[in-house]
Structure 1
Amino acid sequence: MSSAHLGTLYVGRLFLGISNGLYLTYSATYLGEVAPTYLRGSAVGLVTFQTSFGALIGVLVDNYTAKYQSQTSYLIPLGVMFVVPVALSVGLLFLPESPRHYIRMGLDAKAENAIRILRGINDADRLIAEAASIREAWVIENAHSQTVRLVDAFKGDNLKRTALTLCCSVGQTASGVIFFSAFSIYFYAQAGVKNEFVWVMMSLAIALTGNMGAFFVMRFVERRILLSACSIINAAIMFIIAGVYTRLSTGSYLAAQILVAMGTLFTWVYGIGQGPVLWALTVEIPSQRLRSKTVGLATGCNYLFAWVATYSAPYFINPEALNWGPKYCYIWRVSNLLLGIWAFLVIPDVKGKSLEQITSSMIRNSQGKDGEAVAATEHCENGHCE
């Protein structure tokens, strides 16, 4: 904000990128570790709501400051970005660390106190049982490996979990949401849509209702079914958009109407199913020991694929290049279809299970036998598990 020199802007953008990578990794991990079992998927899924709401505010501010011919046209949008980090920094002072982190550090008393604050449990026996469940699962995991290195994520039973986590994270890009969020305004303009800024803001606002709906839907619908269904629906939406522009001209008013309607429906379906489920699974599937490392690696891989998608998109849609325009959605139709099929065939059932139960079932499945790990979380089956 203090300089218009290109080098300064690059350095500032670099630090923003680093902070964003850290924030996405640790905010999602923290939410996954502190949320009660029955709310974990819904809570982590709110990451999608946060990004959609932030995008809406960003588009609004950019749209109404673009008319200024002075430095305020970019100083105001950058200044607005201080609000959320400041609020988070203050709020985090009043939040305890994750109970699972305290257990990893051998601080059982602090873990029990964190559970009491975060979940409102005051019964001493329940607090001891919750902490014991986490501790026993931690001991079982350590029996397989004492180290906490990134390379451990690719060894033994962790290899499958890492592969699933990476696929879930990259699935964010495979859904096509990166393409729509990065190029929707240009996309609408090229397709002949008038007042494209207004339509993008409307689309984001409607998508927020899907994000909010996901908080309730994820409590009752299995992750695998919800992700698969939403991916297949979005594959059909992408096919409709591409098909319409295959039959009609780019300047067709009817085609433009269909594009806006289908684009809005796509963001809503993504918000209620794909985004929240993929974020939740990315946090839920890794082992307790390697969760933050695996989530960070997965987020980084998704950033890489998102960069490839964003970098290559102009060559497909620009009139001076391949000139596919909205027909580029044929590619995203295929990726959504593959995501839906993969989710239905591969994603494990984790709904209603504590993170320790997920770990236990993963270990048992990899070893092909029943393990004593169930005992570590058995008390969660009687309705008292938080």
Structure 2
Amino acid sequence: MAVSLQEEGVIRGWCPNAWRPMMAGDGLLVRVKPHLGRMSAAQAVALGEAALAYGNGLIDLTRRANFQIRGVSEVHWPVLLEHLCALGLVDGDGERESHRNILAAPDWRAGDDTARIADELRDRLAGFPQLPGKVGFVIDAGEAPVLAREPGDFRIERTLDGPLMLRADGRAEGVKLTVGGEVDALLALARWFVESGGAKARRMARHHAPLPALACDGARPAPPQPPIAPGRRRDGIACGLPFGGIEAKTLLDLMRSPGVTGVRLTPWRVLLVEGGCSTDVPGLVTDPADPLLRVDACPGAPACPQASVETRDLARRLAPLVPGRLHVSGCAKGCASSLPADVTVTGRGGRYDLVFGARADAQPLCRGLDSADILARLGAS
């Protein structure tokens, strides 16, 4: 396998994958996109071992339900890529891998509509037109949508009265589908997107051309279900990852627990561990009321070169003091969350800005604070 970072380019501002890693302050980010968001226990163990051998032992869980190995050197990247391909976690063809942007409802079961459609879509992606790099598919075909708040340009969902429907992201209505024709409908909408200039808008929600009849007959999705929360489940346990990260050693301990058969990744910073597992795994959250689950915090300095402040230690100290949503961002880009938070702390020039009910790039209420100032203003004793 001949690979070259020089050929592929290490470029900021797009989503990395295993064939096109992105450089961060702690090394290359190598993204792994398991099909249907699931890995067997053996695959997860092998990935954890690879993160220790070729990276810095830190793994992110992304909003697209992907794993991202951090701290990979340019020397180790080709070896890691070959290893991930051998595990069946990365496609051996870089072009095919770049198109595998499929987010599936994580509570799928073998042979159900979500699994069936996602399988067919994966197998037919080569026949789809060239789409912008961040465009993705959402296959959310359970009894009611669980991914309604997650980004995705072409969406398969359940309607109010039961049948499946196709919906273009950003539109309230879509079109009902016939069983077995779902991927054909996705292909037709993808072709229309390209032919109508969607590549210029880059995302379906920003593409304002009137939808064709093939994409809208007034169908509306069923009311969404809430995201899966940490806690015991009938088929295992849901474990929350503070800040969406897990140490490779923790993943190894988790996957080597007696009775564990696999793990499913979700876009909510929660892992669904299949089979038996202890509820007491250091570094993981199994209490749905834990305040860390309400916190967004990027890696901060020094892991990110854009950040001028430390973020996650401060976020842990602030979490019990904030009853709502807390966002601690290393800079005004707000990579950990694009949404307003009840309390937002943003790094600027090595100090912290503070604002309430706003995004990281909002005009701050207070500027130039240190961590002690922030803690005091939020009521720390």
TM-score normalized by the length of structure 1: 0.28
Bigger relative contact order (CA 8 A; separation at least 6): 1
